[in-house]
Structure 1
Amino acid sequence: MPFPGGSKPATVTFDRRELSELLNLYGRMVAAGEWRDYAIDFLKDKAEFSVYRRSSEVPLYRIVKDPALAKRQGAYSVVAATGLVLKRGPELSRVLRVLDKKLSVVG
């Protein structure tokens, strides 16, 4: 079945810079003992980087790239396991800071 316009619909992905930022944060959180697994999903309308404490659980956080929201709220968001959007914005590095703050608290 052909697609309108003659090509397959584009899939949303993370580029090399975005993946580098995500994996850098993931590495720091693994070293801190907070996270143990991740999954990347490239869908037709958005890309998701999900992090887990254990691979058998629901994700602790989902970092979502949704280009359809780029002009309104910003393409990037961090979503907690409950579905609560913790931070949203146009720059991935600024949105990821909401998770980095949890790592930097020293008791």
Structure 2
Amino acid sequence: MMNVPFGFPSEHDRVAFDRAELGVILSIYGRMVAAGEWRDYAMSFLRDMAVFSVFRRAAEHPLYRIEKRPRMRNAQGQYAVIGMDGRVLKRGHDLRTVLRVLEKKLIRPVD
């Protein structure tokens, strides 16, 4: 490993979402913002996973975390949606399929 200042991992040591994955995530994020459900997001790129967190307000804990863990690729799938309470709501190999659990929040009964 190269000598990295301040102990921060280099770009090659981190997991990240690629452009296609971010497009899928930002698509549902935009729809949820338009529906007034979400207002902010944050991204973290760590050594073993990438996380896209969504918030109702910036000062709160995330409502949901969308995680990519490449080491889980051959097991239950590398993508997961995790709720505020830490429960895994959906896990799988296909990001679009995993994110469908969030789209159910957009469907509301008409009064």
Q: Normalising by structure 2, what TM-score?
A: 0.88
Cα deviation for residue 105 of structure 1 reads 2.8
Cα deviation for residue 102 of structure 1 reads 1.2
Can you give the 5+ residue segments of structure 1 that lack an aligned partner in the other structure? none
Can you give the 5+ residue segments of structure 2 that lack an aligned partner in the other structure? 4-9
Q: How many angstroms apart in 1 are the aligned matches of 2:34 and 2:2?
A: 47
> Which residue in 2 is equivalent to 1:65?
68
Cα deviation for residue 10 of structure 1 reads 2.1
> Which residue in 2 is equivalent to 1:40?
43
Cα deviation for residue 45 of structure 1 reads 0.4
Asked if 1:21 is matched to 2:24, the reply is yes
Describe how 1:1-107 pairs up with structure 2 within 5 A.
Answer: 2=2, 10-107=13-110
Q: How many angstroms apart in 2 are the aligned matches of 1:64 and 1:33?
A: 23
Could you list the structure 1 runs, at least 4 aligned residues long, displaced by more than 2 angstroms after superposition. Answer: none
RMSD: 1.4
Q: How many angstroms apart in 2 are the aligned matches of 1:17 and 1:72?
A: 22
Q: Which amino acid aligns with 1:95?
A: V
What is the aligned length? 103
- 1:4-63 Cα shifts (integer Å, max 9, x gaps): xxxx55210000000001111000000000000000100010000000000000000000
Cα deviation for residue 2 of structure 1 reads 4.0
Q: How many angstroms apart in 2 are the aligned matches of 1:2 and 1:90?
A: 32
Cα deviation for residue 99 of structure 1 reads 0.2
Q: Normalising by structure 1, what TM-score?
A: 0.91
Paired residue secondary structure (1:78): strand
Paired residue secondary structure (1:77): strand
